[in-house]
Amino acid sequence: MSLKFGTSGLRGLSVDLDGPAAAIYATAFARYLLSSGQAKAGDTVMIGRDFRPSSPSIAAICAGALKRAGFSVADCGTVPTPALALYAGKRQSAALMVTGSHIPADRNGIKFYRPNGEIAKVDEEAIAAAAAPLLADQTSFDVTPDEAEDGMATATAEFLARNTALLEVGALAGLRVGVYQHSTVARDLFVDVLNHYGAQVVALGRSDTFIPVDTEAVSPATIDSLKRWAAEHSLDAIVSADGDGDRPLVADEAGLPLRGDLLGLIAARFLDATVAVTPVTSNSGLERHLPILRTRVGSPYVIAGMEQAVSEGQKTVVGFEANGGTLLATDAVVNGTTLTALPTRDSFLPALAVLALSKKQAQTLSALAAGFGLPVAVADRIENFPTDTSAALMAHLRSTRENLADFLTGIGRPADVSDIDGLRVTLHDDSVIHFRPSGNAPEMRCYVEAKDEASAHALLAEGLTRIREFGLSKTESKG
């Protein structure tokens, strides 16, 4: 079984999760809540899901397991993860979201929420420990699905109310904004929110088939579609999100996606953040605009960093990742109203913040992005790259400086190396190349920064080539 906790929740193949494993992990979660005193028998657990084919079945199996463990269950249906988190958090209820986020449809996962918010690494370890003896004998485990009370309408309404209070009425009037709907659970809410603010909305690319959209490494095919739609409909922007609606995708007037960490920076400034917490993979130029605390990749690490900042007395603490998902650790006053803390990734806040800034400053999104003067940063991944090969590559690069230098021959000479999460190498010309195995799927990621667009894409291509060559050499050695 390939299930494991990654950068955000439990992930693995759908065929492994859709069955006893779903019931086992839901049971382990229930037992952890009860044994730790975070919930009691009879309390309600909220369940949401994305549009993947396997998600309804997994959600029903989880509902059955939670009921057998003594909980009531509310079915919030196909809602964005931040909407589920907001709804559950206001009621101090635990929750779980059945989603694989941005990864392919043959994979799925579960995100877990305590009554006081998203689980931390220590919670993951406790849930995994509770699941281990149950996984050892799955054959006799009860996987009977069950139905739950309907909570979808209220969860959606509360999230809509939150996002329609962020800006002034008519704040986006005059903007033509496309919504790339594909199969994200955020697709209808985006249309409703943008219409509320007076934008002229054009719905694009709605799909009944699940389409994985990685907002951190947007595929060339998706970019081609965004460019075509931007020109065809004379759009000022296009917005979208990943499968569960917690990572934003915002493209400019030419259909070119803006970096997620730039969206996070704009959201942090929109909220007058006193500090922003973000992983090491985010752009190195952020520190020129805002006090920054760096962490490992993954929302649990960002949340831990935000908790640290709050404990140190920071007034307004925002977190974001290179994928654009933005978290709010503290209440913030916006548009004369209090925006309550929501310490889980949200795609709506950063998307609305950047559109509002563009309208306020009467700038195109491309001009707005250029004005921040961040180094050019691009990223991509090699899919279906075996995890053991990724581990072997990282071990090889970490073993000696000579190995790293040899691997980068023809690319550049290492000047500095950070090992917070993967290997982030600053070269002698101040460009950056970062190698990191995905925590969610068998993928190897490469992030780069350079002085201009051409140099960045050339560096990324070289990095991906070296990764592929290493993988090929391992395959040949096994043969």
User: Residue type for 284, please?
Assistant: S
* CA atoms of 343 and 330, how far apart (whole Å): 8
Structure tokens at 405: 């230098």
* pLDDT at residue 87, rounded to an integer: 95
Domain 4-155 CATH superfamily: Alpha-D-Glucose-1,6-Bisphosphate, subunit A, domain 3 (3.40.120.10)
| Whole-number percent of the chain with pLDDT over 70 | 98
**Domain(s) of CATH 3.40.120.10: residues in the chain:** 4-155, 176-371
Please state the rounded mean pLDDT for residues 212-239.
95
Q: 317, 329 in Cβ contact below 8 A? A: yes
* CA atoms of 150 and 113, how far apart (whole Å): 19
Does the annotation mark 101 as catalytic?
Answer: yes
- Range with lowest mean pLDDT among 37-41, 411-415, 436-440, 470-474: 436-440
When pLDDT is cut at 50, 70 and 90, the band that residue 479 belongs to is: low
**Is the pLDDT reported for residue 2 higher than 70?**
yes
Q: Pick one of 3.40.190.10, 3.30.450.40, 3.40.120.10, 1.10.390.10 as the CATH number of 176-371.
A: 3.40.120.10
With tokens 């281990």, the residue in question is 132
Q: Pick one of 3.20.20.80, 3.30.310.50, 3.40.190.10, 3.20.20.70 as the CATH number of 376-478.
A: 3.30.310.50
* pLDDT at residue 440, rounded to an integer: 67
**Domain(s) of CATH 3.30.310.50: residues in the chain:** 376-478
pLDDT tens digit string along 271-322? 999 999 999 999 999 999 999 999 998 889 999 999 999 999 999 999 999 9
Q: 261, 320 in Cβ contact below 8 A? A: yes
Give, as one character, the DSSP assignment of residue 167: S
Find, among 293, 298, 286, 326, the residue nearest to 310 by Cα.
293
* pLDDT at residue 144, rounded to an integer: 81
Choose the catalytic residue: 101, 183, 284, 347: 101
Task: Give the other-Cβ count within 10 Å of 150's Cβ.
Answer: 12
**Is the pLDDT reported for residue 108 higher than 70?**
yes
| Mean pLDDT for all residues in the chain | 93
* pLDDT at residue 150, rounded to an integer: 63
| pTM tops 0.85, yes or no | yes
* pLDDT at residue 153, rounded to an integer: 75
pLDDT tens digit string along 310-364? 999 999 999 999 999 999 999 999 988 899 999 999 999 999 999 999 999 999 9
